[in-house]
Each structure stands twice: as structure tokens, then as C-alpha cells.
Amino acid sequence: MAAAATRSQTSNKEAISSAKPVSVLFVCLGNICRSPMAEGVFRNLTNYNTPDQHPLISRIDSCGTASFHSGSQPDSRTLAVLKDKAGLPNYRHQARKIKNPSDFEEYDYVIAMDEDNLIDLRDMVKRAKKRELSSGEEMKKVYLYGIFGGKSADEEVQDPYYGGKDGFEIAYEQVTRFGKGLLKHIEEDARREE
């Protein structure tokens, strides 16, 4: 039994190390509150940019569907949560708007924080297809983050911008839980492709 378990763990590791790494883009509206938080937490979960970087992760970034905060650093409340809860005191990110169609081509997972973001992203793929800039296949890469959360498939990370600190703490709990679920999904996918 123990030997079988060890064999299975070894073959899981082999499957993971031979699979193609994937890229992940987190998307919200302004790219200053939720998606940079999701990005920072997922970087942490995958040891991104460290010698221990997860072998199935190639690239992580975040962006917004709107440009009104382009160039700004994350909201101070997002930075406070990343510092106090995730132990990331030096997280920096410059907000940017999503690029259509290139971000959809370049990333394997394009992940919306809420239903509005999801609708906007799907509309962008449809528009690119209409203009014959894309095949429309990119639609398969667009997900609501909550589907990886293990609770309700339509769980959203609500926009905390106009609320208090508690909204950012709720968002942190969600993006941590969803991030673990996403990583598990990526690992299971790699094993399936073995």
C-alpha cells in the first residue's frame, strides 16, 4: 500500500514536471483592488519568481477592463491586506487595461473577479471575432474566479472600492481560497494530460 502510494506520488510529480506551464491573467474593473490582490496571492501560492516557482506556472499578471486607473499602484487597502495577511510588504503593480486581442492570445487563463468583468471579457472576445482578429476560441480561456472556490459556482469577488476595510478582507479570503482551487485544477489538468 505504502509503496503503491509512493509510486503514485512519483508519477504525479513526473506528470507535473513534464506538462506545459500555464499563464494566468487576473481581471477586475480598475486593476487597483481585486485583481492585483488575486495576482499577489497567486504569486505567493506558486512561489512566483523564486527558485521554487511552481513548475506548472509560467506567467502571472493582472489588468482591468477599464483604463481610468492605468499607471496607478494598487489601492492602499489592497497593499495593506497583502502586507498584513499574505506577508507581502513589497508588492508593486502598475495598473493597466486589458489588451484585446493580445492578452487573450497570450494567456491560458483569463480570470474575472465578478460577473460584470466576465460579461465584459466575453464581449471583447466576441468583438475581436467579429472583426476577424480572433477565432473566438479564446472564449474557453475566460473564467469566473469563483468557480474554483469550492462553494457556489457563481461566487463573485465583490468590488470593495467604495466600502471599508472589511470588503478587502473578504476579498482576500476569497482570492486565497480560489487561488488554491485554481492551482489544484491546473495540477489535475496536468495529470489528465499525462
Active site includes 63?
no
> Nearer Cβ to ligand 4NP, position 43 or 69?
69
CB of residue 97 to ligand 4NP, shortest distance in Å: 12
In the set 61, 75, 114, 159, the catalytic residue is 159
CB of residue 13 to ligand 4NP, shortest distance in Å: 36
User: How far apart, in Å, are the Cα atoms of 128 and each of 26, 106, 115, 120, 143?
Assistant: 20, 14, 20, 12, 18
> Nearer Cβ to ligand 4NP, position 22 or 155?
155
Residues within the interface to ligand 4NP (CB under 6 A) = 28-34, 68-69, 159, 161
> Nearer Cβ to ligand 4NP, position 8 or 68?
68
In the set 28, 75, 77, 177, the catalytic residue is 28
CB of residue 67 to ligand 4NP, shortest distance in Å: 11
> Nearer Cβ to ligand 4NP, position 22 or 41?
41
Active site includes 166?
no
Active site includes 159?
yes
Residue 27 cell numbers, joined: 481581471
CB of residue 34 to ligand 4NP, shortest distance in Å: 3
Please, which residues have CB within 8 angstroms of residue 38's CB and are 6 or more apart in sequence? 26, 28, 62, 111, 113, 145, 157, 175, 178, 179
Catalytic residue numbers, as ranges: 28, 34, 159
